[in-house]
Structure 1
Amino acid sequence: MKTAIRVQVLQFLIAASFAALSLGLFQTQIIKGGYFRRSSEQNRIRLIRLEAPRGNIFDRNGVLLATSRPAYNVYAIPEDFNPKDIPTIGHILELPETEIRKRLSQARTASFTPILLKQDISKEISMQIEERRPGLSGIFIQIGMIRTYPFKEVGAHTIGYIGKISKEEYQTLDPSIYRFDAWIGRSGIERVFDSRLRGEDGGRQLEVDARGVPISLLSEKEPELGGDVHLSLDSKLEDRIKPLLSHRRSVVLVMDLKTGELLAAVSTPGFDPNIFVTPSQNAERLSVIGSKDHPLLDRGLNGLYPPGSVFKLVTAIAALEAGLITPHTTFECPGYFRLSPRSRRFKCWFSEGHGRVDLYTALERSCNVYFYNTGRLLGEKKLSEYARKLGFGASPVFELPAASGLVPSADWKKERYHDNWYQGETVTFAIGQSYLLVSPFQILRLVAAIATNGQMFQPKLIKSSDGNLETEKNKQKIEIREETFRTLRQGMLQAVSSDRGTGQLARVNFAKLAGKSGTAQAPPGDAHAWFSGFFPYEDPKFAFVVFVERGKSGGITAAQIAKRIVYFCKDIYGSAVL
């Protein structure tokens, strides 16, 4: 009997235990299920990116041309953000509600990814957000880096600028390196050396509550600073050159002939790269992009123009090397030239005529008729051959993209226009007209080769990370006789030193300067003005080119600018000029 009672009691206890357990499970899973689910969601993990500052860009003297400064940025985590707060956030940040919704929609597939709402906020806005923090979920302020260019337009075309990555670009890039809202180099050094400058982002793994407020730091990886770039440019020289050019469409390039380094590369009109990273300057940005003067174009490297009389240097080299003339070969200049007694007249710029002139005098006075005759002797094939040999018609090897230009020929014209080449086109080709197009950068290399007995430079723009010149070979010898270059240098010296020389307005009283002017016809407007040269004559240390679009006269407009540049070099580099 007792045994039976004990069995019944045990059965009751077991049944009661199962009932209690079932009731507990029912309460946990059914009655309190929502409570426990919400509690689990109150502890979450968030990954916050720590943006790597871009590396700095320095000039040759260690002057900062591009750097990064701290900025307070506002982010939203879409998963944590309450859409009801959009009007409040929009009011504080002065952003349209539609813009906020658009940005949040970018994270449809990554709702835990922080979205930048506004960059570089003021202290006042930061305080407003902090005051409302208890009622705002998924909103936080984080220090980021913003690109800044201290000298604004100085060196802008060379340095370049950065911009936000586009949706199309993001789809083609490595997502482990680039975020969908990353900044990348758009032009210049910023673009070409983007991988060196950008560094590697870090991040924080945070535990946050349901409102997105951090509870604890789980792990952290510090960002790695981007690498620096040291340029050969001298910001002091560029800063002094720029006012000379005003707002004209123009170019000045200066090269160190001992190293091949580019000391100045000024193209105007310019632009302030800061407008591309400062949201409040949207109007200025649109103005620059839409300007008819094309301020974003680096005219020194990618502007293409007829060279005019500067190209007579190439014609002279070709004729001397081909043995068709000597320095003492003469032609009569009556002020015009005819291919035959009944053909049209090709005019000399000096309508009264220069009389009988040799090559030295023809270079000194820039006699068109002398080079019409020389061009006829050469023919278009020889002219094209030597133009290419001297670096025209091909993209120069350089750290930045540079245009190839156009060297015409009979074959080119047949293919392009389905027409024959005429002898009249050859004689205008010989004086730098016809279909010929060159960049100021190519003219700089030509004059540098003449000054150095045929060293064809690949100009250097980049120094190593420690500021020293990277020493890989940057020049090659052209197979042209040194005697030919000596002849051209003498003619260029006379062009400046003679009272009848077309470059006399570039003359300075402390050094011998050799140069060649050019006035290139480019209808329907005024002619382009060129002047290019080197100094000192006895031991050339600097080569330069000046170009002024629609400047009317190379011997006046461009030559006078060249003179000022020589004085600037003397002021900055002292005895190196003497």
Structure 2
Amino acid sequence: MKSTTRFNFLLYGMYLCLLIVSAGLFRTQVINGSDYREASERNRIRLIRREAPRGNIYDRNGLPVATNRPALYAYIIPEDFDPKDIPELSPLLGLTEWDIRQRISKARGASFTPVLLKSDLSLDTAMQIEEKRPKFSGVFIQVKAIRFYPQHETAAHVVGYIGKMTKEEYEKLDHSVYGYDSWIGRSGIERLYDQMLRGEDGGVQLEVNARGVPINVLSEKDVTVGHDLYISIDANFESKVRPLLAGQKGAILVGDIKTGGLLTAISTPGFDPNVFVTPEQKKERLDVIGSKEKPLLNRGFNGLYPPGSVFKLLTAIAGLETGVITPHTTFTCRGFFKLNRKSRPYKCWYKGGHGRVDFYRALERSCNVYFYNVGRLLGEKRLAEYARKFGFGSPVDLSFPNVSGVVPDQEWKKKAVHDQWYTGDTISFAIGQGYLLVSPLQILQMVTTIATDGRVSKPLLIFDKNEPSKTELGIHPETFKALKQGMLQVVQSDYGTGQLARVDFEKLAGKTGTAQAPPGLPHAWMGAFFPYEDPKIAIVVFVERGKSGGIAAANMVKEVVRIWNEAYGTAVI
């Protein structure tokens, strides 16, 4: 009886064990079967992403300013790699063992995702790794396109540069579009048109053996190269103009009046965007980023400065349009101006005084006293109104980042400075000083507007041969006629402040400016259009701490016109 009972217990125990084993098998094969199959597939299959080459960026004449060159990259799939091979791999890559371990342990989007070990390998290094590839399981070489900027500093602030995305950026973006090591536009056209330039990535699905060595290609998806873009900049023209600002901070902008396209947008000091895409140039890259000279600042678009006497053009327009002056209105300059007998004197740049001057002579000789009087008659509200009418105080409609600037008035001063507005503020405003801040791009827009008799065309950076749309400002033709005559005398008269810009093959019209900016030296400005009779180009030269617009800026305008004339003659393509 006892043996029968023991037998039954043993039998029931065996049944229970079989039941437990069966339940485990059911759970493994049925409930979790799909998970294990997926894990098995991941162990057997590798997905290698192929990043699409970015589209090229060309200047207006088809010269590449951003393109690609082939480069060799070393990748590793950590799950397939045996760490004991690190000492042998290290000298081949020129990396320390610690560097390789750091890269292998780097966070990734998913398991079996390749990790970049080193970019832009030499052909010799790549061949040595390929020869030992059976030993270095999980390590492979891939040919990819690396960005290259063949014109170096030329057009760099417009073209911009690309950079590798951060982990935070990757987590926010669509993983079907961006890989963990993708490069994205960081500034300029590269950033603004990143989606268009980057194309569509492809890839290959590989079957590997137990050691991670590829044995079969299961499927492939071709990459779609990004779209090409053409910008309005003339790289050859810009490369000849750029040396004029060598060793100085400043900007030179030249606009095609007929199409609205910018022919050149120079900002100095500049930078070579190749330092941001070439691994070996880390020191140069850090030097650019940390430089006190701020080479990454686009001074033409995003620099803010007092315009000085260049702004007298706007004051003149406001005075003529409102009727507070006519071209024949005269004021007497004794070298200074007083609001009343007890006020402090506001000086003219010419200490001896210009005597009795009319509108044309006031522009020609840039008489401060004349425009002090015009400013007092206008008042700050009308000055600010016309300044905004011509685009000051707002970004230029360029489809490219640029600053707003400051157009001061009573309300602005109360909020920004917590003080009331004084008449002295108004007369300083009238000659482009005080709280007024503008960018060279805004001055270029004003000069272009004057040259076209008030027909404002939207400036362009993406090249378009179509006729640009124009907006009428509603300024009387007689106002522009008088203004342009005064600008002509600035250059063509022997008493004009811009006479050093004069060329002997055609008439040029312009306006100089020497803007006080304590505690340093004054800034030098000149805005001009050429030729006078049928304007083709508008020019703005700005030299930070350049001392004198009539000397530093005027000389550069002359050279810009000479270079342009040699390149284009009398017609912009």
TM-score (norm 1): 0.90
Residues 124-273 of structure 1: pairs in structure 2 closer than 5 A: 124-273=124-273
Distance 2:451 2:43 in 1: 73
Give the match for residue 30 of structure 2.
Answer: none
Deviations 1:501-539 (A, max 9, x none): 000000000010000000000011110000110011111
Give the match for residue 18 of structure 1.
Answer: none
Give the match for residue 367 of structure 2.
Answer: 367
Give the match for residue 491 of structure 2.
Answer: 496
Cα pair 2:109 2:180 within 8 Å, conserved: no
Give the match for residue 557 of structure 2.
Answer: 562
Give the aligned residue type for 2:61. N
Give the match for residue 457 of structure 2.
Answer: 457
Give the match for residue 516 of structure 2.
Answer: 521
Give the aligned residue type for 1:218. L
Residues 22-421 of structure 1: pairs in structure 2 closer than 5 A: 44-107=44-107, 110-421=110-421
Unaligned runs of 5+ in 2: 1-36
Q: What SS does the aligned partner of 1:120 have?
A: strand
Unaligned runs of 5+ in 1: 1-36
Deviations 1:125-159 (A, max 9, x none): 11221232222110000101100001100100000
Give the match for residue 11 of structure 2.
Answer: none
- How far does residue 470 in structure 1 lie from its aligned partner after superposition? 5.3
Q: What SS does the aligned partner of 1:576 have?
A: coil
Q: What SS does the aligned partner of 1:48 have?
A: strand
Distance 1:116 1:439 in 2: 43
Give the aligned residue type for 1:548. V
Cα pair 2:490 2:498 within 8 Å, conserved: yes
Distance 1:533 1:301 in 2: 18
Query: Which of 525, 531, 536 is matched with 1:530 structurally?
Result: 525
Give the match for residue 430 of structure 1.
Answer: 430
Give the match for residue 19 of structure 1.
Answer: none
Cα pair 1:43 1:207 within 8 Å, conserved: no
Distance 2:108 2:354 in 1: 77
Distance 1:445 1:42 in 2: 59
Query: Which of 465, 468, 472 is matched with 1:469 structurally?
Result: 465
Distance 2:216 2:542 in 1: 62
The CA RMSD over aligned residues, in Å, is: 1.5
- How far does residue 105 in structure 1 lie from its aligned partner after superposition? 2.6
Distance 1:138 1:288 in 2: 37
Aligned residues: 534
Distance 2:151 2:541 in 1: 22
- Greater shift, 282-291 or 43-52, is seen at 43-52
Q: What SS does the aligned partner of 1:79 have?
A: helix
Give the aligned residue type for 1:176. S
Distance 2:435 2:367 in 1: 20
- How far does residue 339 in structure 1 lie from its aligned partner after superposition? 0.4
Distance 1:103 1:198 in 2: 26
Cα pair 1:399 1:462 within 8 Å, conserved: no
Q: Structure 1 residues 137 and 385 mapped into 2: Cα distance closer, same or farther (>3 Å)?
A: same
- How far does residue 108 in structure 1 lie from its aligned partner after superposition? 5.1
Give the match for residue 544 of structure 1.
Answer: 539
Distance 1:111 1:42 in 2: 8
Distance 1:95 1:457 in 2: 55
Give the match for residue 15 of structure 1.
Answer: none
Cα pair 1:78 1:107 within 8 Å, conserved: no
Distance 2:304 2:41 in 1: 63
Q: Structure 1 residues 500 and 129 mapped into 2: Cα distance closer, same or farther (>3 Å)?
A: same
Distance 1:165 1:479 in 2: 48
Distance 1:72 1:88 in 2: 20
Give the aligned residue type for 2:512. S
Q: What SS does the aligned partner of 2:174 have?
A: coil
Cα pair 2:408 2:435 within 8 Å, conserved: yes
- Greater shift, 224-233 or 207-216, is seen at 207-216
Distance 1:190 1:567 in 2: 32
- How far does residue 94 in structure 1 lie from its aligned partner after superposition? 1.8
Give the match for residue 443 of structure 1.
Answer: 443
- How far does residue 86 in structure 1 lie from its aligned partner after superposition? 2.6
Distance 1:342 1:364 in 2: 30
Distance 2:79 2:234 in 1: 50
Cα pair 2:491 2:500 within 8 Å, conserved: yes
Deviations 1:3-51 (A, max 9, x none): xxxxxxxxxxxxxxxxxxxxxxxxxxxxxxxxxx9xx899811111111
Cα pair 1:528 1:549 within 8 Å, conserved: yes
Q: What SS does the aligned partner of 2:378 have?
A: helix
Distance 2:343 2:545 in 1: 30
Distance 1:492 1:44 in 2: 77
Q: Structure 1 residues 515 and 115 mapped into 2: Cα distance closer, same or farther (>3 Å)?
A: same
Deviations 1:260-304 (A, max 9, x none): 111111111100000000010000000000111100011110011
Cα pair 2:49 2:179 within 8 Å, conserved: no
Taking only the aligned residue pairs, the percentage that are identical comes to: 63
Cα pair 1:139 1:212 within 8 Å, conserved: no
Give the aligned residue type for 1:450. I
Q: What SS does the aligned partner of 2:172 have?
A: coil
Give the aligned residue type for 1:576. A
- Greater shift, 42-51 or 267-276, is seen at 42-51
Q: What SS does the aligned partner of 2:570 have?
A: helix
Q: What SS does the aligned partner of 1:286 have?
A: helix
Give the aligned residue type for 2:504. N
Q: What SS does the aligned partner of 1:313 have?
A: helix
Distance 2:42 2:164 in 1: 34
Deviations 1:226-271 (A, max 9, x none): 0001011101110101111102111111111111111111111100
Distance 1:431 1:295 in 2: 30
- Greater shift, 531-540 or 204-213, is seen at 204-213
Give the match for residue 24 of structure 1.
Answer: none
- Greater shift, 193-202 or 80-89, is seen at 80-89
Distance 2:302 2:375 in 1: 27
- How far does residue 474 in structure 1 lie from its aligned partner after superposition? 3.9
Q: Structure 1 residues 41 and 158 mapped into 2: Cα distance closer, same or farther (>3 Å)?
A: closer
Cα pair 2:42 2:112 within 8 Å, conserved: no
Distance 1:103 1:176 in 2: 23
Q: Structure 1 residues 534 and 42 mapped into 2: Cα distance closer, same or farther (>3 Å)?
A: closer
Q: What SS does the aligned partner of 1:517 have?
A: strand
Q: Structure 1 residues 495 and 335 mapped into 2: Cα distance closer, same or farther (>3 Å)?
A: same
Give the match for residue 27 of structure 2.
Answer: none
